[in-house]
Chain A
Amino acid sequence: SAVISQKPSRDICQRGTSLTIQCQVDSQVTMMFWYRQQPGQSLTLIATANQGSEATYESGFVIDKFPISRPNLTFSTLTVSNMSPEDSSIYLCSVEAARGYEQYFGPGTRLTVT
């Protein structure tokens, strides 16, 4: 399994500002995933991040709003840009298991936009 940490664990931000969330893995992984989970809702995939290439975004999510960096095989960042209260959510990163299809998740970043 992989151990994943995220920073910050929570934040309260003003409308119109941006927040960058960091995701660190204790081993090298090919793919990292970023999800959003709104209160009482399911996880929704925002994008898949591969090292050395641009992230692949899901329908409804765009790079200008959620730019992602993947500078190496153990680290990624997700930025939530020009935030509005609708962006209040938990943001989670995950990685795929080295052998198998399961994913390992970070603890999440709880974002509140006022």
Chain B
Amino acid sequence: SQKIEQNSEALNIQEGKTATLTCNYTNYSPAYLQWYRQDPGRGPVFLLLIRENEKEKRKERLKVTFDTTLKQSLFHITASQPADSATYLCALPSGGYNKLIFGAGTRLAVHP
């Protein structure tokens, strides 16, 4: 079955730098991949979806890449701000009814 690996260690960066988070999957390449943000005590919030035929997707300061050869997606936040501090989850479709499986997430801490 499909497995998702995200770096379990927290990522600490300085304000203004670019944060790069990694999502690796183990089996078949999915039709699309999604990224969510989760703040403590809240449900995940959808950020971006990238399809298998798209190499890159951007939204404001966010950029996602999708490399089906490497079975990897990278999630970048440019000009990071302390307000970007959160846990970021990667999700892939699995099975019917558009079910999603989620990675464990990577916690990002942006320091002033």
Give the complex CA separation of A4 and B45 in angstroms: 12
On whether the beta carbons of A102 and B34 are closer than 8 Å, the reply is: yes
On whether the beta carbons of A108 and B46 are closer than 8 Å, the reply is: no
Secondary structure of the A side of the interface?
strand
- Residues of A within 8 Å of B, CB-based: how many? 24
Would A94 and B49 be within 8 Å (CB), given that A41-B104, A42-B104, A48-B99 are in contact? Answer: no
How many contacts between A and B, using CB within 8 angstroms?
51
Chain B residues near A108 (CB-CB < 8 A): 41-43
* A102 touches which of B49, B89, B101 (Cβ 8 Å): B49
Chain A residues near B93 (CB-CB < 8 A): 101
Give the complex CA separation of A100 and B43 in angstroms: 19
On whether the beta carbons of B102 and A96 are closer than 8 Å, the reply is: no
On whether the beta carbons of A105 and B45 are closer than 8 Å, the reply is: yes
CB distance from B108 to the nearest CB of A (A): 15
* A92 touches which of B4, B34, B43, B105 (Cβ 8 Å): B43
On whether the beta carbons of B44 and A43 are closer than 8 Å, the reply is: yes
Q: 9 pairs across A/B with beta carbons < 8 Å?
A: A31-B97, A42-B105, A43-B44, A45-B99, A56-B97, A101-B49, A101-B98, A104-B46, A107-B41
B residues apposed to A, CB below 8 Å:
4, 32, 34, 41-46, 49, 89, 93, 97-105
The 8 closest A-B pairs by CB, nearest first: A105-B43, A102-B46, A42-B104, A43-B102, A42-B102, A105-B44, A48-B97, A92-B43
